[in-house]
Structure 1
């Protein structure tokens, strides 16, 4: 994995895209920073090529889409198998996201959408068949997001606050 240092332009681009990628153009970002839109497009392409920006995702309100059960399923996987099991778990119908956690217990977090309790039971059973031990299931009410604040204009608010 290549580690990349971000300069102020890169940080601003990442912050702007996290805040509203769908409604932010290269021209908008360029205007804010007094650079050309082609410079911004080039930087975005390089950030994507370097794996800093991995994709653009729709933020779906599953309840409004008719899926009442958006669930966080907490699982444990054997450490040597964690990555492989996480990759396989995301292929289960209804699973929308899987995160690997760096701890021994509760080290795989699965976000799944189900139409009813039977659907969630099926997802849990399929996770178990893969070799993931389900330890907890929680219905998610709301998710709140904000772009990482240290990308905003390159400022480090925590350090600035203490000065």
Structure 2
């Protein structure tokens, strides 16, 4: 990485980590990229230090884990308070993720889990008490996460270029 710009090696490392960060070692990635494992570890450390890699997260099947209700709660927050309210929403028991949206009135999305509708109602009430205006609630059947394939494309071959 130079001047905050990822090169093709960094992008490839990110791609392979997105596939299975826990089950992919530096040796595995090094072998795929024809690099030394120490080079890959150094690159990963740099990506972590720069904040590009913010963490390694589990992909949980909440239904199998005993939380059959997985919901997205869509809220509106005053723009001047959006960051603070989104941060405080993360502290509500049962909230698993919070997204801040930069456009429109629906500008805070909260993912939450529960065993019952009463638990989801409690979460919604706590979000309301924080000052978030709940616009919509959606029960999610399942969510699938996948790696960004653009990390494997060279910059010259990226979709949308005129070459």
Which residue does the alignment assign to 1:103? Answer: 103
Which residue does the alignment assign to 1:123? Answer: 123
Distance 1:4 1:157 in 2: 19
When normalised by structure 2's length, the TM-score is: 0.93
Distance 1:93 1:129 in 2: 14
Which residue does the alignment assign to 2:75? Answer: 75
Instruction: Check whether the contact 1:75–1:133 (CA below 8 A) recurs between aligned residues.
Output: yes
Cα displacement (A) at 1:159: 4.3
Distance 1:21 1:31 in 2: 16
Alignment RMSD, CA only?
A: 1.5
Instruction: Check whether the contact 1:12–1:154 (CA below 8 A) recurs between aligned residues.
Output: no
Pair 1:158-2:159 in alignment: yes
Distance 1:153 1:80 in 2: 38
When normalised by structure 1's length, the TM-score is: 0.93
Q: Which moved more, 1:10-19 or 1:140-149?
A: 140-149
Equivalent residues, number: 160
Cα displacement (A) at 1:104: 3.5
Instruction: Name the SS of the counterpart of 2:21 in structure 1.
Output: helix
Cα displacement (A) at 1:120: 0.5
Which residue does the alignment assign to 2:26? Answer: 26
Q: Deviations over 1:66-95 (max 9, x none)?
A: 111000000000000000000000000000
Q: Structure 1: give runs of 5+ residues left out of the alignment.
A: none
Distance 2:58 2:144 in 1: 14
- Equivalent residues in 2 for 1:46-57 (5 A)? 46-57=46-57
